[in-house]
Amino acid sequence: MTQVPVVQVLDLKKNYGETQVLKGVSFSIYPGEIFGIVGPDGAGKTSAFHMLGGILDATSGDITVLGKKPRDTRLEIGYLTQLFSLYLDLSINENIEYVAGLRQVSKNDLKERRDKYLKLMDLDRFSNRLAGQLSGGMKQKLALCCALIARPKLLLLDEPTTGVDPVSRREFWDLLASITQEGVTVAVATPYMDEAERCHRLILLHEGSIQDEGRPQELKDNLNLKRLELRSNDLEKLSNRLHTSIDKAQAHFTDIQEFGDRLDVLTDNLNIAQSIIQKESVGLDLSISAQEPTLENVFVSKLKNAEVKETTARFPFVQKGAPSNSTAIKAEHVYKEFGSFAAVKDVSLQIDYGHIYGLLGANGAGKTTTIKMLCGLLQPSKGQMSLGGEKGNLRSALLRKKLGYMSQKFTLYDDLTILENLEFYCGVYCVPQDLRSKRLNWVLENTGLLGEENRLTGNLPGGWKQRLSFGAAVLHQPEVLFLDEPTSGVDPLARRQMWQLIRDFARQGTAILVTTHFLEEAEHCSELGFMVAGELVAQGAPGKIKAEQPGSLIELRFKDNQAAYNMLKTKLDSWRVSIFADAVHLVLDHPDIELESIIENCNSQGIECFSSRRLPFSLEDAFIGIVKRQSTANAEASAA
Amino acid sequence: MKKILTQCKKELIQFRRDRLTVALAYFLPTLAIILYGFATRLEAKNIPVTVRNYDIGFYSREYIHTLFNNGQMVSVPWSGTKDTDPLDLGKARAVIIIPPDFSRDIRNNHSASVQVLVDATDVNNARVIKNSIIATSQYFLRSGAMEQQKNLIVPQVRLWFNPGRKESLSVAPGSIAVFLWIFPCLLSTLCISREKEQGTVLQLYASSITSFELMAGKALAYLLIGISQAIVLIGSSCILFQLSFVGNGLVFALATILFLASSVCFGLLGGSRTNSQSAAVQLVATTGFTTSLLLSGFLYPQRNILFPLSLLSNILPARYYVEACRNFFVRGSGFFDQFYILVALGLAALLIFNGARKVMSKMQLSS
């Protein structure tokens, strides 16, 4: 590109004491692009943004923003911090006015821009509502509005969609696309790979250094691999056969990854791989579909090149008699009310031993309340529950011994060593003496901390702590395991390993309930439930939920995607249209009938369409469809 | 200037939103001054005393009568097995034992002895009781039939400023100073530590507002709130304790504003030094409360504070404002006599403000 970059970063380094969070990072951001900095928590994204925003000094290296040092261009940078930096006790209008005052926006400009952006973000009806009373998605839009009020040339967004429901997330990215049309350059940090797909260009950041850089399509193409999705009636057997009985190099398998209801095989030779899989799956019911690799595949394969190979040791299980009842957790029409607020409404679910159930939803959707009721910490207002065969007293000591619980903020004691922490939990959970040393070794081996067990826990990086606390939660081989956001802050490789472990426990008959806000991760569950505003709106296996979606997802590429997007939005329900970096996605119920006329319509308006193809639904697409269809139905019902 | 006003306006809106804080901001100081004004009694009254009278003569009865005559002590009947039981059981603060030959000795002009046992767990009151009993005894000797021991020097004591020795007149003005120090700085310290704790401070760093503008905006807002607190507090204590204004109003108003400013800035300084609301509150409350209570001359007279600490006491704004309050409500001094108070308070406000500004002067994250 010959354009002058808006941001130029050269060999940027940042140290906090001994730890180096950025190890010499260089990149440029060009005008009008959405630039993604993608990586897990702790990769150095936030530090990089602090320095780009001019609020943190770099240890060494050079940053130029709009030709100056970031500190001197602060008024031309809009900065949306991770926690949104909103004043929750101020109203929408007051928040905007305050930021405008700080950034020296004149009265007339303020009024004009406020009206425009509030309308664009569909917040104009709530202008006197306090920020604290807004939903996560609305807060995020308000924060964006505040960041835009001073007409910045560069917009820095640090994980803007964390804790926001998928529907709002989708809307937010559509908004970003329109903002770049006005000439604003956007830099966005995100841990979500599906959001990375919507950036024009991105860097993959891991432990302070860049692993890869380029356009999403480019990155996936450069991998030169194909992804095969395998579905079968006996995944475990298939996986074992593929893993053990054949030479992976000869079969051209680069990677095999297991999910809740499918296996993904990456290969550089589609035909050979496919025929070998066919051969190995004799006697099994098998379906294969060839797909593009995902960005997650790109990231993991880059990390694998950079790191030593992961090892997963097997947990020293003790054979236990099969439980008398196959159902571990059951809830029937459970309600929870706090005063007049119904946090959980009519939730029914069932989790059998050996299954992994994923509970998904945005912050505030009722996940934590549900999990608290299911493990007996909270009494439901209405409804029946059973846990491990118990109906009445869910808090009995005997029952609790069979439970494992890893809470979101479950922290090990920072001032104890790793070994002391683990021994403490062995004691708490009454792990028999003869098993202790074996199990402690297992935890240490899987966290890669063997030989470092006398380090203070407080000094460990976040991802390691998370793995360690998972280890501590399962030391007693629980029959029912509750995991509340177990993988937050864990990098993709470690996350994979952790899911491997979780699956191991499920195979041994443990019933597992996981909450997560990573929709991608839900693919690891054998069954999932999606919560919106306290209600379970969808339940089932991931593949089933996607397959049940009516219609199909269609990717269209136009000469001018933005114009096409604007036009299509007026023709169809707005949730059916979304804009990506270089394409527009449509959800059509009857594509065979509708698609042709839509393309014709665009062409006749001078918006030329290059290509169209059908895409498989992602879980996110499926959920947005479910939620939107339901709310439309509700609106129609109340209108009638 | 516009940014300062923007900042100030935002702080005021936020303050008003939080109903609980608003209620506490006005209710707590008032409650505190009621507690201090009515419950703090530096003077001893109604001290329970037991008398064991082994004498059956006229003088002992007369002596006991005199003891309880001035209302400072109340008689508690003896019970138990030992003479000292009421003391041990905490029923009386002192036991007075009159021996069998008390009346006879006095009649014969011999010196008569009386044993007094005082509970000294409360040292201050013990001294008061001791002095009181000695004084009563002397009075008894002078006023009784004993003409032979004439006192040559008779001190004529007068109490000034507070002729009725109204306790509230000495406690209330001092308490006003203590509470006008503590409560405004507690509020202002929250307004900055909250921004740090909740991460909103990043937004400020990312805008071009300077440390001076930020601090000035916040200080202005909380100064206004402080003034309203002062009006409520002074108003309610005037009604409750029947205080009247006897000093120069202008000098008192100026002193109040400067004092509030230094309190608010002290809160900002504490808040900018800490990263969480609870740490800020602890820091400000502990240092503010102990120093203003102990070293300001409110509880103990200034001259009782020992050498190295007395230096510290001299740089405390509360020390000057206690004086200003007493001047205004009790003493009634004129403008120029108190000019140094204004200078000291003004200086303090400026120095503390500058300190707070400096802490935040980089307006970026510390590496």
Share of chain A above pLDDT 70, in %: 96
User: Per residue in A247-291, pLDDT tens?
Assistant: 777 778 888 888 888 888 888 888 888 888 888 888 888 888 888
Q: Which CATH number belongs to the domain containing residue A235 in this structure? A: 3.30.70.100
Looking at every residue in chain A, the average pLDDT score rounds to: 85
What is the band of B152 on the pLDDT scale with cuts at 50, 70, 90? very low
Rounded mean pLDDT of B122-147? 73
Q: Is residue A309 one of the residues assigned to a domain?
A: no
Domain match, A155 and A178 both: yes
pTM, two decimal places: 0.79
Nearest Cβ partner for A94 among B3, B13, B207: B13
The alpha carbon of residue A373 and the mean position of all alpha carbons in its chain are separated, in whole angstroms, by: 25
Q: Is B25 a member of any domain?
A: yes
Q: Which of A57, A79, A83 sits opposite B367 (nearest CB)?
A: A57
Residue A232 belongs to what domain range?
224-292
Q: If interface means Cβ-Cβ distance under 8 Å, which residues of chain A face chain B? A: 14, 16, 50, 53-57, 59, 71, 74-75, 77, 79, 81-83, 85-87, 89-90, 94, 97-99, 101-104, 130, 146
Half-sphere exposure of A454 (CA within 13 A, CB side): 1
B239-284: pLDDT as tens digits: 888 888 888 889 999 999 999 999 999 999 999 998 889 999 999 9
Do B60 and B20 fall within a single domain? no
Region A232-257: what's the mean pLDDT? Answer: 79
Q: Do residues B194 and B325 both lie within one domain? A: yes
Which chain A residue is nearest to residue B18, measuring alpha carbons? Answer: A89
Residues in A touching B209 (Cβ below 8 Å): 102
The verdict on A348 and A492 lying in the same domain is yes
Q: Are A101 and B7 a contacting pair at CB < 8 A?
A: yes
The tokens for A554 are 């269609």
- Residue B113 is assigned to a structural domain of this protein: yes
- Rounded to 10 deg, the angle between the A295-306 and A492-507 helix axes is 100
Do B235 and B317 lie in one domain? The reply is: yes
Same domain as A214, residue A228: no
Q: Examine residue A554 and state whether it is found in any structural domain, yes or no.
A: yes
User: Does residue B286 share a domain with residue B216?
Assistant: yes
Same domain for A12 and A153, yes or no, is: yes
Report the CATH number at residue B64.
3.40.1710.10
Split at pLDDT 50, 70, 90, the class of A514 is very high
pLDDT (tens digit, 9 = 90+) per residue, A522-540? 889 999 998 888 888 889 9
Contact A57 B3 (CB under 8 A): no
In a domain? residue A306? no
Q: Among A468, A427, A466, A423, which Cα is nearest to A444's?
A: A468
The answer to whether residue A497 scores a pLDDT higher than 90 is no
Which residue out of A20, A69, A102, A106 would a mutagenesis test of the B interface target, given it has the greatest number of B Cβ atoms within 10 Å? A102
pLDDT of residue A308: 47
Q: Do A79 and B200 touch (CB under 8 A)?
A: no
Verify that B234 and B333 share a domain, yes or no.
yes
Is B23 exposed, middle or buried (CB count within 10 Å of its CB: 0-12, 13-18, 19+)?
exposed
Q: Are residues A502 and A554 in the same domain?
A: no
- Examine residue B366 and state whether it is found in any structural domain, yes or no: no
Q: How many domains does chain B have?
A: 2
Q: What is the pLDDT of residue B128?
A: 77
A259 and A382 co-located in one domain: no
The CA distance from B292 to B322, in Å, is 9
Chain B: closest CA distance from residue A94 (Å): 8
Residue A549 has pLDDT above 50, yes or no: yes
Q: What is the rounded CA–CA span in Å between residue B314 and residue B307?
A: 11
CA angle, residues A630, A633, A634, in degrees to nearest 5: 85
Tell me if chain A has a CB within 8 Å of the CB of B3. yes
A385 and A458 belong to one structural domain = yes
What pLDDT shows up at residue B231? Answer: 94
Among B6, B199, B206, the residue with its CB nearest the CB of A98 is B6
Q: Is residue B151 part of a domain?
A: no
The pLDDT tens digits of the residues spanning B44-82 come to 677 888 988 888 888 888 888 888 887 778 888 888 888
Q: pLDDT-derived band of residue B151, with 50, 70 and 90 as boundaries?
A: very low
What pLDDT, in 10s, does the model give residues A80-109? 988 778 898 899 999 999 999 988 889 999
Q: Do A99 and B203 touch (CB under 8 A)?
A: yes
Q: Where are the beta strands (DSSP E) in B40-119?
A: 47-53, 73-75, 94-98, 115-118
CA distance B212 to chain A (A): 13
Closest CA to A586 of A608, A607, A558: A558
- Residue A358 banded pLDDT, cuts 50, 70, 90: very high
CA distance B188 to chain A (A): 16
Same domain (yes/no): B33, B95: no
Question: Which pLDDT band holds residue B220 (cuts at 50, 70, 90)?
Answer: very high
Q: How many angstroms separate the CA atoms of B270 and B186, rounded?
A: 9
Q: Is residue A266 part of a domain?
A: yes
Do A183 and A43 have their domain in common? Answer: yes
User: Residue B111 falls within a domain, yes or no?
Assistant: yes
For residue A55, the chain B residue with the least C-alpha distance is B364
Half-sphere exposure of residue A272: CA atoms within 13 angstroms, side-chain side: 14
**Same domain flag for A630 and A487:** no
The residue-averaged pLDDT of B127-140 equals 80
Instruction: Report the side by side order of strands in the sheet with A77-80.
Output: A77-80, A154-158, A185-190, A34-38, A201-206, A209-214
Asked if residue B257 and residue B301 are part of one domain, the reply reads: yes
Mean pLDDT across the stretch B192-220? 90
Digit-coded pLDDT (tens) for A370-419: 888 888 888 888 888 888 877 877 777 788 888 888 876 656 788 888 88
DSSP one-letter code for A68: B
Are A206 and A42 in contact, with CB atoms under 8 Å apart?
no
Same domain membership, residue B302 and residue B332: yes
Average confidence (pLDDT) over B354-358:
92
At A337 the three-state DSSP class reads strand
Question: Are the Cβ atoms of A89 and B207 closer than 8 angstroms?
Answer: no
A244 plus A114 within the same structural domain: no
In a domain, B90, yes or no: yes
As a whole number, mean pLDDT of residues A13-42 equals 88
Task: Among A16, A55, A146, select the one facing B364 at the smallest CB separation.
Answer: A55
The per-residue pLDDT for B233 is 92
State whether B187 and B327 are in the same domain. yes
Same structural domain, B69 and B185 = no
Q: Which residues of B touch A79 (CB under 8 A)?
A: 202-203, 206
Check residue A11 and give its pLDDT. 93
pLDDT at A573: 85
Asked if pLDDT for residue A220 goes beyond 60, the answer is: yes
Alpha carbon separation from A138 to A132, A176, A382 (Å, rounded) = 10, 15, 31
Q: What is the mean pLDDT of residues A545-553?
A: 87
Specify if A474 maps to a domain: yes
Amino acid in the structure at residue B56: I
SS (H, E, C) B113-180: CCEEEECCCCHHHHHHHHHHHHHHHHHHHHHCCCCCCCCCCCCCCCCCCCCCCCHHHHHHHHHHHHHH
B23 with B75, same domain: the answer is no
Domain count, chain A: 4
Test mutation, A57, A68, A87, A157, chain B, max B CBs within 10 A: A87
Asked whether residue A85 falls in the same domain as residue A207, the answer is yes
Q: B207 vs chain A: nearest CA distance in angstroms?
A: 6
Confidence band, pLDDT 50/70/90 cuts, at residue A309 = very low
| DSSP category for residue A150 | T
- Give the highest mean pLDDT range of A50-54, A137-141, A300-304: A50-54
| pLDDT at residue number A9 | 93
Is A243 within the bounds of a domain?
yes
A and B: number of Cβ contacts within 8 A = 85
Cβ <8 Å between A89 and B17: yes
Q: Cβ separation of B206 and A98 shorter than 8 Å? A: no
- Structural domain contains residue B152: no
A89: domain CATH number is 3.40.50.300
Q: Are residues B231 and B286 in the same domain?
A: yes
pLDDT of residue A348: 93
Residue A331 has pLDDT above 50, yes or no: yes
* B159: confidence class by pLDDT, cuts 50, 70, 90: low
Residues A559 and A619 grouped into a single domain: yes
Q: Which domain holds residue B100?
A: 47-143
| Average confidence score pLDDT of chain B | 84
Q: What is the mean pLDDT of residues A68-85?
A: 87
The tally of CA atoms less than 13 A away on the side-chain side of residue A133 is: 10
Determine, yes or no, domain membership for B201: yes
Q: Is residue A308 part of a domain?
A: no
pLDDT tens digits for A150-170? 889 999 999 888 777 778 888
